[in-house]
Amino acid sequence: MNKKPLLLLITLIALIIGCHKTLTHTPTAEKFTLNYEVNRFEKEIEAYEKADAAIGLDKLQGQTIFYGSSSIRLWKSLKEDFAPMPVINHGFGGSTFPEMTYYAERMLVPYKPEKIVLYCENDLFSGKDKTPEQVFDSFAELATLIQNKLPKTKVYYISMKPSISRKDKWHLTTKADALIKAYIDKHKNFTYMNIVPVMYRPNGTVNGEYFIKDSLHMTPKGYAQWTSVVRPILLKN
């Protein structure tokens, strides 16, 4: 028996395995200590797990997961806005990137999603000052986890909205988003979706009709503006 074909096959498999190295992210800024418990939204996560188990995890795999903070959680028209594409809403609390990373093994990985849509603007407003570079590092940790655990999944990032109540830090969210966009532009499975322009009136002011009384969370009109940007990109890809 000729052993050369077998040896060649073994060598080829070894090379393929060796090419799939675990990705890591080297922090660009000083690491910060969380001033909150990273599992503070555990009850919400457990509620998602219970509801999804009742449906059957196998029936939910391969869909598009919207994952992020309250702007995702409160998107009540999500399924209608993206029909006929099946979507899952896994927004929770006022989550931050470290929390999204912490729960990704439960809220993303088991679902083997075709696409993931990310949104989070809370890292700069979680009670302890952080720099845009630190926010970027937190995003990159989540992005790295997704690439390692779900290498075939396409990831879409929604830029941070110009929340009227947080106007004093718009310059910081803009810088954090610029860093995130630069990262995304270098990764083929990632897409940056800029919703900022559609939040403005023609006169250059943010449209207050897109926000509820707290000037932070959005009205149906605000979500309609997001849909006008996000839907075409998701359906096209």
Convert the pLDDT of each residue in 174-222 to its tens digit. 999 999 999 999 999 999 999 999 999 999 999 999 999 999 999 999 9
- The tally of domains found in the chain comes to 1
Q: Is residue 75 part of a domain?
A: yes
State which residues form the domain around 79. 37-236
Convert the pLDDT of each residue in 70-105 to its tens digit. 999 999 999 999 999 999 999 999 999 999 999 999
**Predicted TM-score (pTM) of this structure:** 0.90
Q: Is residue 230 part of a domain?
A: yes
Q: Is residue 17 part of a domain?
A: no
Tell me the CATH number at 183.
3.40.50.1110
Report the Cα 164 to chain-centroid distance in Å.
22
Q: Is residue 30 part of a domain?
A: no
